[in-house]
Amino acid sequence: MPQANFAYASPANDAAGMPLSLSIFADRDHVRAMMRDDAEAAGFRVADTGGIAVLLEGEARALGEVVLVDCPVADGAMLAALARLDLRASTCGAHLVVSTSMAALDDVFACMDQSGPQILVEPSRAERVLALGRVLARIPNLRVRELSEEDRLMLLRLTEQVGEIAQRLDHLEGGVGALSPSRSFGRPAGAFSFESSNLESPRPGFRGADGGGGDRASDRASDRLVRATRPPLPDPRLVRRIIRQRQLRARFFDGDLFADPAWDMLLDLTAARAEHTRVSVTSLCIASGVPPTTALRWIGQMTDAGLFQRVEDETDKRRAFIALTDKAADLMARYFVELRGQAAHLV
């Protein structure tokens, strides 16, 4: 089986020059073998391999610093193994990369809420390789070789694309909270972040102007004023019409030409909030208009930016949804108010 050509880090050594350890858990033999070949080509030391069932063994096996898991089917035993692995990884700091199918995505997403894993949906071999690259980028003091000129140009183009998207989101702040490229790109959790602003939700301890004195009372009065002037969300029928107009372009042009997953997901969640409906991670991936694995990365980044939040199902702990934060809902409401009558023609 040919090995992948890694351009991001070879070998994958820690600060002491020792290869990073890696565990592989997959029931499909050919997938497990492919993962091993690619990991070893990247310079990892494969410490353990096996089927998913070994994760449920009475005596827990040691985990590598990086753990690759293939979970195409979400049956009870598989989900129990993933939930246990998720908890162990969050405790020991292991980096998880979990591949699954679109049919199993909601179940896998719901049971892995502790370790912040990378979730790949029906990934190609190249996507698995890129996921390893993202793991390496998160590990401090990692020894990596110098980038070639071609690699530098590719990284520059990707940085520019993320910067353009971040600027679009920055406009939603209405000039109140500025995006700082130097800070946002330095954060390992996401590609962009927002400064705090007075558009954040009121403090849980808010009691009114007579609840305290001095600056605290002034802050509460300011919070009350901001809350009172917040506009309502737009009519969901209008937002759905805008979404349909945007989707119509794919009938005539390559969808990649207009790919804007952050905005498409913001629109979908805005309509859902106005309709008082819940959105599953699978549904949001479809709404994004990009491949599910790409959509999941965007969901993670939007969550890190304080725009999306994970919402557990109170009646079924095996389910979880994605929703706008109060801050994001306020920004979208203000955006549509600013548009006024032009919103009906927005694409």
Distance, in Å, from the CA atom of 326 to the CA atom of 323, rounded to the nearest integer, reads 9
Distance, in Å, from the CA atom of 219 to the CA atom of 198, rounded to the nearest integer, reads 10
Q: Which of 83-87, 186-190, 228-232, 299-303 has the lowest mean pLDDT?
A: 186-190
Query: Between 211 and 73, where is the model more confident?
Result: 73
- Taken as a whole, the chain contains a residue count of 347
Report all structural domains of the chain as residue ranges with CATH numbers, in order of start: 21-138 (3.40.50.2300), 201-229 (no CATH), 236-345 (1.10.10.10)
Query: Between 151 and 318, where is the model more confident?
Result: 318
CA distances from residue 236 to 63, 239, 271, 326 in whole angstroms, order as listed: 47, 5, 5, 17
Query: Between 170 and 116, where is the model more confident?
Result: 116
Cβ atoms of 17 and 143 within 8 Å: the answer is yes
Question: Structure tokens of 16?
Answer: 């002491």
The pLDDT-based confidence of 194 (bands split at 50, 70, 90) is very low
Confidence at residue 133, expressed as pLDDT on a 0 to 100 scale: 85
Cis peptide before 11 (omega within 30 of 0): yes
Has this prediction a pTM greater than 0.75? Answer: no
Q: Is the pLDDT of residue 168 over 90?
A: no
Query: Between 255 and 203, where is the model more confident?
Result: 255
Among residues 224, 298, 46, 10, which one has the least CA distance to residue 136? 10
320: alpha, beta or left? (left if phi > 0; alpha if psi -120 to 50): beta
Confidence at residue 85, expressed as pLDDT on a 0 to 100 scale: 94
Helix (H, G, I), strand (E, B) or coil at 213: coil
State mean pLDDT over 66-90: 93
Confidence at residue 331, expressed as pLDDT on a 0 to 100 scale: 94
Q: Which helix (H) or strand (E) holds 130?
A: helix 125-138
Q: Which helix (H) or strand (E) holds 333?
A: helix 326-339
State mean pLDDT over 82-101: 94
The pLDDT-based confidence of 167 (bands split at 50, 70, 90) is low
C-beta neighbour count of 242 within 10 angstroms: 21
Confidence at residue 89, expressed as pLDDT on a 0 to 100 scale: 94
State mean pLDDT over 232-251: 90
Cβ atoms of 96 and 115 within 8 Å: the answer is yes
Q: Is the pLDDT of residue 58 over 70?
A: no
Q: Is the pLDDT of residue 63 over 50?
A: yes
Q: Please name the residues in contact with 173: beta carbons below 8 A apart, sequence gap of 6 or more.
A: 179, 194, 197, 199, 331
C-beta neighbour count of 135 within 10 angstroms: 24
Rounded to the nearest integer, the mean pLDDT of the chain is 77
State mean pLDDT over 128-155: 66
Q: Is the pLDDT of residue 239 over 50?
A: yes
Q: Please name the residues in contact with 132: beta carbons below 8 A apart, sequence gap of 6 or more.
A: 6, 38, 39, 42, 44, 66, 97
Confidence at residue 218, expressed as pLDDT on a 0 to 100 scale: 53
Q: Which helix (H) or strand (E) holds 323?
A: strand 320-324
Question: Structure tokens of 316?
Answer: 């079924």
Distance, in Å, from the CA atom of 119 to the CA atom of 34, rounded to the nearest integer, reads 18
Q: Is the pLDDT of residue 4 over 50?
A: no
CA distances from residue 217 to 138, 199, 203, 229, 295 in whole angstroms, order as listed: 43, 18, 12, 19, 43
Condensed to tens digits (0 to 9), the pLDDT of residues 31-41 reads 999 999 988 88
Among residues 223, 229, 340, 322, which one has the least CA distance to residue 270? 322
Q: Which of 18-27, 94-103, 224-233, 272-281 has the lowest mean pLDDT?
A: 224-233
State mean pLDDT over 82-107: 94
Distance, in Å, from the CA atom of 42 to the CA atom of 236, rounded to the nearest integer, reads 48
Confidence at residue 250, expressed as pLDDT on a 0 to 100 scale: 84
Distance, in Å, from the CA atom of 104 to the CA atom of 97, rounded to the nearest integer, reads 15
C-beta neighbour count of 244 within 10 angstroms: 10
Query: Between 230 and 79, where is the model more confident?
Result: 79
Confidence at residue 329, expressed as pLDDT on a 0 to 100 scale: 95
